[in-house]
Chains A and B, each alone.
Chain A
Amino acid sequence: MTLGSFLDMGGYAFYVWTSYGITTAVLLFNLLAPIVQRKQLLRQLALKQKRPQ
């Protein structure tokens, strides 16, 4: 199988690759969003803790 025929997906390239693309985007978002938010929250809390002392 050549790379071209793999990417072409027997003519269904648009449907197959859009499906896989959207799936990747949603799964990555749900994984990374809480990590980013947690880092922000920890930074805020650390600042608050330092201030009164």
Chain B
Amino acid sequence: MSFIPAPISRFFHRTASPPHFYALANRFIPWLTVLFLLLLIPGLYGGLIMAPTDYQQGDSYRIIYIHVPAAWMSLFIYVLMAVMGGIALIWRMKLAEVMLISSAPIGAGFTFIALVTGSLWGKPMWGTWWVWDARLTSELILLFLYLGVISLHGAIEDKRNAARAVSILALVGVVNIPIIHYSVEWWNTLHQGPTVSKMDKPSIHISMLIPLLLMAVAFKVYYAIALLQAAKLELLKRESSAQWVKNLLEKTV
């Protein structure tokens, strides 16, 4: 790491040290919760009440306000896990290992939400709960990748070894991400193509787009909060005999 200037390296190591991170998480969680509610409430109000009824899909399209942000999160979290896996393998950084494994259940949750809400939207609009088209199948594989990370981590007793195995799995599985993203263009799928990411001319009206973006950012902030909570638990489990945990216990009891 000699190419990183010493003060930056010191700052990085200090922030990533378990007791410092634990205290930092406690400071950030209340603010993130306020920010989450400030995004969620107008997002839901805009999506469920203000946005007009779709002329083709009626009110069933309102599932979009959770389906699309959840699907975005399912990809975003997996990519972050692969990055954490890379950092964990190269620098053996403990905090990266903790962030990686703490992200997995949250990512699995978002993938599950994307699949279930997609199914509940597909039934009235396509006439079927499920088809084996490229988009749906690759998203289902993503769910199995998340579950694979969780069970692989649980199966290996030594947590440093477990983290190494999980990092490799996360990195290998990342090939699925572009497949999911481009599946609607590469194959002829029942699932529609992108409407929002064509930023030059999104084919969605502004009154429908704004709540969607609010919900997308709200889900990102939710991820930050849930990740910090999960990481605090994982750090305590790993460091239960460390001095900083003993100090923490004396303060709370």
Contacts and interface: CB of A to CB of B under 8 A. Distances in A.
Q: Do A and B bind each other?
A: yes
Interface of A: 1, 6, 9-12, 15-16, 18-20, 22-23, 26-27, 29-31, 34-35, 37-38, 41-42, 45-46, 49-50
A34 B233 contact: yes
B60 interface: yes
Contact of B117 (A6, A10, A23, A34): A23
A30 B240 contact: no
Contact of A23 (B49, B66, B250): B66
Contact of B105 (A1, A30, A38): A30
A10 B236 contact: no
B198 interface: no
Nearest to B66: A23
Given A9-B60, A12-B124, A31 B225 contact: yes
A15 B121 contact: yes
Interface of B is mostly: helix
Given A9-B60, A16-B60, A26 B249 contact: no
Interface residues of B, number: 40
A23 B70 contact: yes
Given A23-B70, A27-B113, A49-B253, 19 more contacts: A9-B62, A15-B120, A16-B60, A16-B63, A23-B66, A23-B113, A29-B109, A30-B105, A30-B106, A31-B222, A31-B226, A34-B226, A34-B230, A38-B232, A38-B236, A41-B236, A42-B236, A45-B249, A46-B252
Nearest to B117: A19
Contact of A41 (B53, B62, B66, B233): B233
B59 A18 contact: no
A50 B226 CA distance: 31
A27 B117 CA distance: 14
Contacts of B62: 9, 16
Contact of B252 (A10, A35, A42, A50): A42
8 contacts: A9-B59, A10-B53, A16-B63, A18-B120, A30-B105, A30-B106, A35-B229, A42-B249
Contacts of B240: 41, 45
A15 B66 CA distance: 13
B245 A45 contact: yes
B60 A38 contact: no
A19 B63 contact: yes
Contacts of A1: 49
Contacts of A10: 53, 58-60
